[in-house]
Amino acid sequence: MNKNSSDFNIKETLDVIKKAIQEDNTSEKIQSEILILTKKVQEDGTIIDLESQINNNIKNTKQDILDNKIEKVFEKNFTKWLDKNMPNLINKYLKKNN
C-alpha cells in the first residue's frame, strides 16, 4: 500500500465520520456506519475485521517484547551463573570420573 492510497483511505474514512456526525440520524444508523469502519474489503473481495487484526498485532508485539526481555535477562544471568559455577562443576565431574 503506497502513501497516496493510504492518504486516500484516511480521507475517505474521515469523510464518512464527518457525514455521520453532521447528519441528524438515529443511533442505529450511526452504529451501522461505525460497524463499516471496523471492516476492510481487500482487493480479492475478502473482508477482514480490523479490530481483531489490531488486537492480534498488539498481542504479538507484547509477546515479542516479553520474549526479547526474557531472552536478554536469561542470557545475562545464565552467563554469570556459568562463569561462577562452571569450574566447580568441571572439578566435580573430573573427580567423579577419576
pLDDT tens, position by position, 55-76: 777 878 888 888 889 999 988 8
Q: β-strand 47-49 against 39-41: which pairing, if any?
A: antiparallel
Cα(56)–Cα(50) distance, rounded to whole angstroms? 10
Query: Which has the higher per-residue pLDDT, 79 or 39?
Result: 79
| Mean pLDDT, the chain, whole residue set | 77
Residue 48 φ/ψ, nearest 5 degrees? -115, 145
- Which neighbouring-strand residues pair with 39? 49
- CB-based contact 41:47 (threshold 8 Å): yes
Sign (positive/negative) of CA torsion 63, 64, 68, 74? positive
